[in-house]
Structure 1
Amino acid sequence: MPAAQTSLFSKPKRSRLYGAGLCILLTLGPLLWWLLLKPTGMGVVLVGKTWRLDIEIEKLLEEGESSWCDELPAEARNISRRLLVDPSGARPEPTEHCRFSRPQWRTMRMARAEGAAPTPPHWPEARLNGLPADQLGAERTGKPEAFYELQLQNEAGQSWTCRLPLAEWQAHKLGARYRLRVDRFGVADCASLPRPS
């Protein structure tokens, strides 16, 4: 008798489990397809390629500083001294503290060239004042920086800018279509762009 009762209850339970499993599969199926099989990213078109090349122009200026006199840099000049107690305790007695000036190179301006494809990138002419390099007021070129950027746009008019190395930037063609990953905050993952062959 107990065996018969068990088999009577197991069939409805089994069919309810199958039904629940089918509902879950029908609900999760589209979600799994969307997560695993749909193309990733957003369709975009390459609408512009811009470049900007900068060169820092540095100038030799005399700047004031202060330090303990036993730590003066070799190029220090216009030195004034006074006795001070070292607050760190490294010097137990009052010691000479110096105010001085020395020449230092400081970035004062930029030489810049910028444009857009198909114009090829070119470095700007860095016009210097021609003074000898050890004379105050002399100018020299400093650090160069290059920026190569792609402007991408989707059908809705949203746009993104991706900065790339020169070789990759050159390989992309205006009008090319790509899929670009964009996060929920609207930030593009430029690394998701395919590398042109």
Structure 2
Amino acid sequence: MSCCININMEKRCGHYKGLLSNNLPESKIWYSKIISIVIYQCISSLLVIIVATLGSLIINKEFPNIPQLIFTTIFITIASLPLIPLCLILCQYVGVIITILLSLVGSFGSVFIALKSYFWILPWGNMMRVSAETMGINPNGTPMDNFNKIPDFYVLAIIILVSIVYFIVLSMLSMLVFKRKGLYEVL
């Protein structure tokens, strides 16, 4: 949603005319969009930690495991990074509805592969696997039966590595698509 809001705000503010008049390179424009969404994602992750802590205090009347909550949120934030350039480029050229539908399909598809050894194929699968490894929550939201309190750091390393590689590759590919399609076609 934040990617689509970012793109729609740019379209309402003149379709990049101000940026083009300053002779800014298209790559800088695109990477600044990605960086701004990453910053928004980090802020929302902090809010998730705060809300989860307050929710546990209000509903369960107990203090949650804060290190586990922070650890899981950081890993989910890193695992969600590849979706930023992917959703930005989709929203830029196919629209909000198609972007949201494709994200829903990716999320639902990842539920079925999140606990398999090939979970890393879909970027959404990495996020689903994090909560299974760190908190013992199945991708469908139910608690895992045989949860080991010590997370599998091999799987978490794969999640981090694959997410960073996907993020870099998708950022470069989306920038190439943005440059190739050209800002002038957007106008």
TM-score normalised by structure 1 residue count: 0.21
User: Of Structure 1 and Structure 2, which has the larger fraction of its residues in strand?
Assistant: 1
**Considering only CA atoms, is the larger Rg found in Structure 1 or Structure 2?**
1
User: Of Structure 1 and Structure 2, which has the larger fraction of its residues in helix?
Assistant: 2
TM-score normalised by structure 2 residue count: 0.22
